[in-house]
């Protein structure tokens, strides 16, 4: 018992980099998630779910140095090395290779859930965060890439986030320029992605590729319209034009989707190792340091996980960042409100209050009732803090007349009506 007062003085804190979400925040997050799901369904994507823990080697072998350093991994009670997923793509492709490959192509799937990365936390960067992830497996590259970028942009539009910059690059060209086996490319690309120039210099030196440093540094700064593709091709001598022509064709296909404002950014390198083709990122300039709301691209993982060669492309959103971007732009998210808060006036009308409550709930109207026996004015305060739409007052005169008094908490107007009328009235939701 001696330890109890001390324990009381020191409340538990949540682990660093994790979040608690209160009711208001959770309502906004769910609203965003619902809009993203609806948009994915409109684009013909279907939801799948994969485990939160996976075998460690699913990530260590394939995701690259950036992710491996950040893994939450441990031995389970059976001595197996497992890790909390840092992202969805490796799990989705594992599932595809083992089971989903028998589905008709293309396979278009999305998932929503929490992922874990041991990063240095700051605003918008957490150790546990939710992602919305979409993948297309088995569509021709151009068609698949255009469709995922179109979905990504429509997701942002559906949430109401307008101030965004879409940047598209091609990692395949950089890989070809490095002329290194894939396992040697990871670190160079990692330091390029982080724009850590001293580390890049050391790595190139270690590989005997110092001559590539100047062109690489010049290349990753190229950003703008189609002319940067020509400049890029001239810097990456000997690599050919294939990837640059591909980006031009992709921009033309996106134009046909009504997406005309893409920027080519040859410096999009991405933090994950599996990308091999087009890569893209979307920033919300309103978010400060952690401004990237989503990223993705075409990758090669199925072969590495024991499957047949097939084209794969996708992207993921950080749910927190899209909510922050929406808030920064003042977007009003359609969050659900309690329709009715029932206030029995005095003990004698508790039973009648419950009758009204049950009738409302039974008819699909969200309704709550005073559980504390408060007086009417404190009950109205409570209903207002809940942001209920109507307070439903149940007292002697109303009960005698077979009605309830309905106070509109937005306008302050009050009128009497029968419960059937209230049900119709409260079912018309304008939010
Ligand atoms: P990623 O760029 O590592 O890509 O993550 C996608 C998004 O997750 C980022 O754009 C960002 O919004 C969010 N995010 C990343 N780290 C954090 C963090 N520490 N805290 C909060 N949000 C964060 C992927 O995960 C790939 N699997 C995307 C993909 C799918 N590529 C192909 N298919």
Pocket of ligand 1 contains residue 293 by CB under 6 Å? yes
| Cα distance between residue 269 and residue 217, in whole Å | 12
Q: How do residues 8-57 score in pLDDT, each as one tens digit?
A: 567 899 999 999 999 999 999 999 999 999 999 999 999 999 999 999 99
| Residue located nearest, by CA, to atom 22 of ligand 1 | 318
Residue closest to 113 by CA, chosen among 57, 60, 48, 55: 48
Span of 179-183, 223-227, 233-237, 409-413 with lowest mean pLDDT:
179-183
Q: How do residues 300-359 score in pLDDT, each as one tens digit?
A: 999 999 999 999 999 999 999 999 999 999 999 888 899 999 999 988 999 999 999 999
Note whether 302 and 97 are within 8 A (CB): yes
Q: How do residues 347-404 score in pLDDT, each as one tens digit?
A: 899 999 999 999 999 999 999 999 998 999 999 999 999 999 999 999 999 999 999 9
- CA-to-CA separations, 4 to 1, 7, 14, 407, in angstroms, rounded: 5, 5, 20, 48
pLDDT value at position 7? 57
Q: How do residues 250-304 score in pLDDT, each as one tens digit?
A: 999 999 999 987 899 999 998 788 999 999 999 998 888 889 999 999 999 999 9
Pocket of ligand 1 contains residue 366 by CB under 6 Å? no
The whole-number average pLDDT for the span 239-244 is: 91
Note whether 121 and 332 are within 8 A (CB): no
317 C-alpha to ligand 1 centroid (Å): 6
Residue closest to 18 by CA, chosen among 130, 132, 101: 130
Note whether 168 and 150 are within 8 A (CB): no
| Residue located nearest, by CA, to atom 21 of ligand 1 | 125
| Cα distance between residue 426 and residue 65, in whole Å | 55
Residue closest to 173 by CA, chosen among 285, 49, 297, 320: 297
Cβ burial of 111 (10 Å; 0-12, 13-18, 19+) is buried
* Whether pLDDT at 89 is above 90: yes
59 C-alpha to ligand 1 centroid (Å): 15
At 203, list the tokens.
Answer: 């790595």
pLDDT value at position 181? 86
pLDDT value at position 421? 97
| Residue located nearest, by CA, to atom 6 of ligand 1 | 316
| Residue located nearest, by CA, to atom 23 of ligand 1 | 318
Atom of ligand 1 nearest to the CA of 127: 19
pLDDT value at position 107? 98
pLDDT value at position 273? 85
| 15 CB neighbour count, 10 Å cutoff | 9
Q: Taking the CA atoms of the chain, what radius of gyration do you get in angstroms?
A: 27
Q: Binning pLDDT at 50, 70 and 90, where does residue 1 land?
A: very low
The whole-number average pLDDT for the span 172-187 is: 87
At 337, list the tokens.
Answer: 């409100």
Q: Which of 113, 118, 295 to mutate to test the pocket of ligand 1 (most atoms within 8 A of CB)?
A: 295
Residues contacting 415, CB < 8 A, separation 6+? 405, 406
At 377, list the tokens.
Answer: 């004015």
Q: Whole-number mean pLDDT of the chain?
A: 93
* Whether pLDDT at 201 is above 80: yes
Q: Which of 45, 316, 323, 328 to mutate to test the pocket of ligand 1 (most atoms within 8 A of CB)?
A: 316
The whole-number average pLDDT for the span 229-234 is: 94
pLDDT value at position 4? 54
Higher pLDDT, 182 or 415: 415
* Whether pLDDT at 408 is above 80: yes
For 75, phi then psi, to 5°, come to -90, 135
For the entire predicted model, the pTM comes to: 0.92
């Amino acid at each position: 018992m001696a330890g109890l007062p001390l324990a009381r003085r020191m409340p538990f804190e949540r682990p660093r980099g994790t979040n608690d979400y209160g009711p208001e925040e959770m309502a906004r997050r769910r609203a965003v998630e619902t809009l993203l799901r609806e948009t994915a369904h409109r684009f013909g994507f279907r939801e799948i779910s994969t485990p939160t823990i996976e075998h460690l080697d699913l990530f260590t072998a394939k995701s690259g140095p950036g992710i491996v350093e950040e893994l939450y991994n441990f031995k389970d009670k059976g001595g197996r090395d497992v890790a909390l997923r840092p992202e969805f793509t490796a799990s989705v492709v594992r599932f595809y290779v083992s089971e989903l490959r028998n589905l008709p192509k293309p396979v278009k799937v999305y998932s929503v859930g929490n992922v874990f990365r041991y990063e240095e936390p700051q605003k918008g960067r957490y150790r546990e965060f939710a992602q919305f992830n979409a993948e297309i497996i088995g569509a021709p590259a151009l068609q698949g890439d255009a469709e995922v970028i179109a979905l990504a942009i429509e997701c942002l539009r559906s949430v109401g986030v307008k101030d965004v910059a879409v940047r598209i690059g091609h990692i395949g060209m950089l890989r070809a320029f490095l002329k290194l086996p894939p396992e040697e490319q990871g670190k160079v690309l990692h330091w390029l992605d982080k724009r850590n120039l001293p580390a890049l210099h050391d790595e190139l030196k270690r590989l005997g590729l110092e001559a590539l440093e100047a062109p690489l540094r010049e290349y990753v700064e190229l950003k703008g319209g189609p002319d940067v593709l020509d400049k890029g091709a001239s810097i990456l001598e000997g690599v050919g034009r294939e990837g640059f022509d591909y980006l031009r064709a992709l921009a033309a296909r996106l134009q046909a989707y009504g997406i005309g404002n893409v920027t080519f950014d040859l410096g999009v390198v991405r933090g994950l190792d599996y990308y091999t083709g087009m890569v893209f990122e979307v920033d919300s300039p309103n978010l400060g340091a952690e401004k990237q709301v989503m990223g993705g691209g075409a990758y090669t993982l199925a072969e590495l996980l024991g499957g047949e060669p097939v084209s794969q492309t996708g992207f993921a959103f950080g749910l927190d960042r899209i909510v922050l971007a929406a808030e920064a732009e003042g977007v009003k998210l359609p969050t659900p409100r309690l329709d009715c808060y029932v206030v029995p006036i005095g003990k004698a009308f508790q039973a009648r209050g419950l009758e009204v409550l049950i009738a409302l709930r039974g008819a699909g109207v969200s309704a709550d009732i005073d559980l504390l026996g408060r007086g009417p004015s404190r009950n109205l305060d409570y209903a207002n803090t809940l942001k209920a739409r109507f307070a439903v007052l149940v007292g002697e005169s109303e009960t005698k007349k077979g009605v309830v008094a309905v106070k509109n908490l937005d306008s302050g107007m009050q009128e009497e009506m029968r419960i059937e009328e209230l049900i119709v009235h409260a079912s018309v939701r304008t939010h």
